[in-house]
Amino acid sequence: MSSYDSLHTRLTNLTSQLNQRDTELDQQLDEIIQADEAELDQQLDELDRNNEAAEKDLREGLRQTVEAVKKGIKDRKDELRQKEIEAAKKAPKDHASKEAEHALVKRRSSFSTH
């Protein structure tokens, strides 16, 4: 075998080994990429769940705040309505009391002038 044949055989062998190693490295790289993609997918899914939970919490907090404000408004309206009712009930009594007092003052003054 000539030295050229020996070099050619050696080169062919090394090329074959290099191609095989290249294929192995490609497979390892694909596995690493797939593992990274799977991990990223899990992280994204977790972020989505966290965002959904946070949004749900915010909505519930807003709903509770709105309900509290509505209740406060209703309570205030009820309080004002009750005050109006009490004032309306008291007004005729106050008016009658003032009329009676005025009539009494009138009588006293008519008695004192005679």
**Full-model pTM:** 0.51
Q: Name the least confident of 11-20, 56-65, 67-76, 77-86.
A: 77-86
- pLDDT tens digits, residue range 64-76? 999 999 999 999 9
The mean pLDDT of 69-85, rounded to a whole number, is 94
Count of residues in the chain: 114
pLDDT average, residue stretch 44-55: 98
Helix (H, G, I), strand (E, B) or coil at 95: helix
Distances (CA, A) of 36 to 33, 43, 44: 5, 10, 12
- % of the chain at pLDDT higher than 70: 96
CA dihedral 70, 72, 75, 80 (to 10 degrees): -110
CA dist 72 and 64 (Å) reads: 12
Cβ-proximal residues to 65 (8 Å cutoff; 6+ apart), any chain: none
Q: What is the mean pLDDT of the chain?
A: 90
